[in-house]
Amino acid sequence: LAKTTQPISMDSYEGQEVNITCSHNNIATNDYITWYQQFPSQGPRFIIQGYKTKVTNEVASLFIPADRKSSTLSLPRVSLSDTAVYYCLVGDWAAGNKLTFGGGTRVLVKP
């Protein structure tokens, strides 16, 4: 079961880019990297998923180096509404490697 390490918290300002790096040194060959966002008193919401290289969608980008031992979630031009907890998960349910939620990174966007 791959363990992930993320910063506990980060502060940013509106309009800036926020980059959250997640370390997963023992990632397995079949594992995917999946990021979720959670607002207080709500269920987590899927943001983005990748396996290698770079993935981009309308919300974020995910950068994964060749060794896959880390990944970086990039949130472009954040707004106050991006204040949330962001979780990095690594695993593959189909391979029996359950994804586990760690403590996440609390991102505070200031005006």
Binding footprint of other proteins on the chain (CB under 8 A): 32, 34, 41-46, 49, 51, 87, 89, 91-94, 98-104
| Nearer to other proteins (CB atom), residue 16 or residue 83 | 83
| Nearer to other proteins (CB atom), residue 9 or residue 77 | 9
89, 49, 74, 88: CA torsion to nearest 10: 0
Minimal distance, residue 110 CB to other proteins, in Å: 20
Dmax (CA) for the chain in angstroms is 44
Minimal distance, residue 111 CB to other proteins, in Å: 24
Rounded distance, CA 14 to CA 77, Å? 7
Minimal distance, residue 51 CB to other proteins, in Å: 8
| Nearer to other proteins (CB atom), residue 80 or residue 95 | 95
Q: Which positions ≥6 away from 13 have C-beta within 8 Å?
A: 109, 110, 111
Among the listed residues 81, 60, 50, 51, the one whose alpha carbon sits nearest the alpha carbon of residue 17 = 60
Minimal distance, residue 18 CB to other proteins, in Å: 19
